Amino acid sequence: MVEWYKDKVEVVKEAYEKGSKNCQMLSHHIQKDLTKACAEEVTAVIMDEIRGRKFSVLIDESRDVSIKEQMAVILRFVNDEGKVVERFLGLQHVESCTTIALKDSLIGMLSSHNLPISMLRGQGYDGASNMRGEFNGVQKLIHDENPYAFYVHYFAHQLQLVVVTISTSSANIADILSRALQRKDQDIVKALHLITDVKDGLQDMRNNGWEPLLRKVKTLCEKNEIEVPDMDKKINVRGTSRRRKQKISSSDD
């Protein structure tokens, strides 16, 4: 980061080249200060971007190297261009995993950034988290305080866990990506290439792998006497009113 900043600011570059050679900014105290300063600047940009808009929160559970529980909080809102964006707000250490403690930690974190709970319009929590039971309680407590803070189950994370489980049990480009992204010495450029390859592979599966998969599923269902739904039966399109009566088949969906 220092090398990058030296290339951008001539005064800093000159100070490094002409100043004391033992000033390398490698002290862990200095690095922590630099990291904190960067985080504060990024957060300030996010707060300027949200500027009193209504927002939703996405929360996941994580643990640091000392096995302490943390909440990772992400804000989701509509920006000036009318696009839905997600911004990482930060990590919050959780002293206790009780419902009340989690709720207080969340509200405290939002309040520290001048984000009132009255502007909250959505809650999404990790559906596979060890704390999912407590989070279910959190969403109710917040909804009681703000009835517009609707809860949306975090199905996407459960799907991601399924994908990871399947990929790690096989030897495909998805397994390589999963393992590569967990390496501490990973080259970000190589990782991006791997992501592109996986996306292409998934798109190929979507275009050419559906029919073979459906045949296998039907065979399995018939073998185990499980009723197979009619994939061509018309159903109401999600999100449309009854008056419009738009229909779509399960196969199309």
- Tell me the pLDDT tens digit for each residue of 114-156: 999 999 998 887 655 545 556 677 888 888 888 998 887 766 5
Q: Number of structural domains, the chain?
A: 3
Residue 92 lies in a domain: yes
Q: Is residue 81 part of a domain?
A: yes
Residue 65, pLDDT score: 62
Say whether pLDDT at 55 is over 90.
yes
Average pLDDT, integer, range 1-7? 81
Mean pLDDT, residues 182-190 taken together: 68
- The predicted pLDDT at position 77 comes to 92
N- to C-terminal Cα separation, the chain: 46
- Residue for token pair 């707000």: 89
Please count the helices (runs of H) and the strands (runs of E) in the chain. Answer: 9, 7
Q: What is the pLDDT of residue 99?
A: 80
Task: Report which of residues 170 and 196 the model is more confident about.
Answer: 196
Distances (CA, A) of 153 to 10, 132, 135, 144, 161: 50, 10, 11, 17, 15
End residue of a domain, out of 135, 154, 173: 154
Angle at 42 between CA 121 and CA 45, to 5 degrees: 60
**Is pLDDT of 170 > 60?**
no
Asked if 45 and 66 sit in the same domain, the reply is no
Element (H, E) at 179: helix 173-180
Asked whether residue 69 falls in the same domain as residue 4, the answer is no
Q: What is the pLDDT of residues 87-101, one digit of tens each?
A: 998 888 877 777 888
- How far apart CA 38 and CA 47 sit, in angstroms, is 14
- Alpha-carbon gap, residue 73 to 60, rounded angstroms: 7
Q: What is the CATH number of the domain that holds 73?
A: 3.30.420.40
Contact 78/84 with Cβ under 8 angstroms?
yes
Do 68 and 132 reside in the same domain of the chain?
yes
Same-domain check for residues 41 and 98: no
Owning domain of residue 116:
53-154
Q: How confident is the model at residue 240 (pLDDT cuts 50, 70, 90)?
A: low
Q: Is residue 86 within 8 Å of residue 74, measured between CB atoms?
A: yes
Mean pLDDT, rounded, of the chain: 77
